[in-house]
Chains A and B, each alone.
Chain A
Amino acid sequence: MESLLQKLAVENGLVLSFAVVGLVVLFSGYISRKLTVGRVQGSAIAILIGLALAYVGGRMTGGNKGLADVTYFSGLALMGGNMLRDFAIVATAFEVQPSEAKRAGWIGALALLIGTFLPFIIGVSIAYAFGYRDAVSLTTIGAGTVTYIVGPVTGTAIGASSEVITLAIAVGVFKAILVMVTTPMLAKFMHLSTPRSAMVFGGLAGTVSGVSAGLAATDRKLVPYGALVATFHTGLGCLLCPSLLYFAVRALFPAHV
């Protein structure tokens, strides 16, 4: 019987994922209405439940794909993977008002630049505070603070040790999760209500996963604007961190101090 169920689950992985996520959304909507009287959005609760399940999955399997590493739920890797995530994000572009996007274009670009430099500087400072002194490690951890993809890309490019690269990924993943969880709570403080404000947020908060989930949990209408800017974040980080920013760090911290 169990092997039959497992076969069914594995062979229909994507279909099962739709059902599982549907159940989680249904349950979250119920909690949102009954326990928080609609104050906390259903999708915010669903994302929190998703992260909790990812933790459980990681604990159970020791893998690195959360719940998707559990055989029964392997279809989640496809449903929540980069391909369908990006496909759905692109689809939301249909809701973009070109005039709004154009008006905020320059400030979105400015936010992108600050969103690369600021996390990098903070990452380098904190790595320094924790005892790292060589330019390669400092840069890699700074890059990981930009996004969890920029970290390993930069680290590999400039020859960081695998422990430092792992640490950089951990920083980036933690940042993404933190953005997912805190965006709805900080939405008022950040004045996150207009297309333009969402573009500023998308540029500064970085990571597509953090921004897309954070905005989904805050206001679905803002998603395309934030995502439009955020999708340039990783590329810009991968461009600046191993080059300009690495040279700057190397100038500040010459080898073997």
Chain B
Amino acid sequence: MPLYGTALLAVCHLLGILFGELLGRALGVQANVGGVGIAMLLLIAARFYGHQRGWLEAKSEEGVNYWAALYIPVVIAMAMQQNVLKALSGGPMALAAAITTVAACACCVSFINRREVVAPAETSAK
């Protein structure tokens, strides 16, 4: 039943957020530390063991896949409620800081990823 999948997703989500909160408190941080990431790891593990032990049916997986498919529409709804006005109100300083950061990070990503793709081919080239 698809509901089992959605319920499994919900349990992983809640546990992940809970662990993230606890981790934040343990570190003395006023924020959730990686709750969603922990939830994702839990779900990955649940899927792995579910397949191995055979208690996760394809029908149940539909209950997760549907929500994964809703991801893009949800992100679009998220875009619709961004505080765009506020972002533009920050003036030249906000603009300069954001643009410089994004540009620098993009270069950094490009630098790291370039090495990844090139690495295996490089051995034969050199």
Contact = CB atoms under 8 A, between A and B. Distances in A.
Interface of A: 17-18, 21-22, 24-25, 43, 46-47, 50-51, 53-55, 57-59, 64-69, 73, 76-77, 79-81, 84-96, 98, 101, 107, 111, 114-115, 118-119, 122-123, 126-127, 129-130, 141, 144-145, 149-150, 153, 156-157, 166-167, 169-171, 173-180, 182, 186, 189-192, 194, 196-197, 200-201, 204-206, 208-209, 212-213, 216, 220, 223-224, 227-229, 231-232, 234-236, 238-239
Contacts of B114: 191
B113 A190 contact: yes
B32 A67 contact: no
A160 to B, nearest CB: 14
B95 interface: yes
Q: What range describes how many residues of B lie at the interface?
A: 35 or more
A70 B33 CA distance: 33
Given A65-B83, A79-B73, A182-B102, 4 more contacts: A90-B9, A90-B13, A93-B39, A235-B29
Question: DSSP majority for the A interface?
Answer: helix
A59 B88 CA distance: 12
A178 B71 contact: no
Interface string B54-65: 000000010011
B78 A175 contact: no
A25 B120 CA distance: 39
Contact of B80 (A53, A144, A227): A53
A54 B84 contact: yes
B48 to A, nearest CB: 7
